[in-house]
Amino acid sequence: MRVSSKKLGLGVVALAVALMGSAAIADKAHDGGKGGPMGRMGPSFDFVAADTDKDGKVTTAEFSAYRAGMVAEIDTDKDGLLSAEELVALHTKRAADRAKEQSSRMVQDLDADGDGKLSVAEMIAMPVPPDAFEAADTSNDGVIDQAEAEAAMKAMMHGPEGENGQHGKHRHHGKHRGGNDQGGN
């Protein structure tokens, strides 16, 4: 099967948009959603570890002790202060853990031939929302320019709510349907 460079390019853009969207959704699911109870407690809250007396409940004191222990783990040089480097190490580890988890799920979900790896054909065959290209093409001209691609990626990174609680990729479509430009674009 011969794939034209235009189709391959469109497939790659659609794939990138879909992957970024799934990554953002997975991140939100992992931490309970931005602003949700787990998001406020921290993305890696471990109830069992926090419940030190094992009574099935976490008190304020247990929660405070749990958080202090988490901070102490981050403070690798044990000076009582968290440096930018220590915080970078924390965020890098968490991102690597999420990437490993997401990559394993992708291989498991998309590996049609069962070889434990994804071929280009298996990646291109990945389901993409039917309106992914149209959603990114905010000018409705049948092509995605650099600004539209960046806006689509940014909307995907912010999840379904987008920035400021608005609906990501859909927030600026109002101007194309006779409504107000709610996205400021």
Domain count, the chain: 1
Q: How far apart are CA 184 and CA 5, in angstroms?
A: 34
At 45 the pLDDT is 85
Which residues form the domain of 168? 1-40+129-185
Q: What is the pLDDT of residues 53-72, one digit of tens each?
A: 999 999 999 999 999 998 99
Give the residue among 126, 139, 175 at the shortest CA–CA distance from 21: 126
Tokens at residue 27, please? 């991140």
Q: How far apart are CA 61 and CA 70, in angstroms?
A: 14
Quick check: is 179 in a domain? yes
Quick check: is 183 in a domain? yes
3-state percent helix, strand, coil for the chain, nearest multiple of 5:
60, 0, 40
Predicted structure pTM score? 0.48
* Residues with pLDDT less than 70, the chain: 1-43, 159-185
Quick check: is 2 in a domain? yes
Quick check: is 117 in a domain? no
Quick check: is 22 in a domain? yes
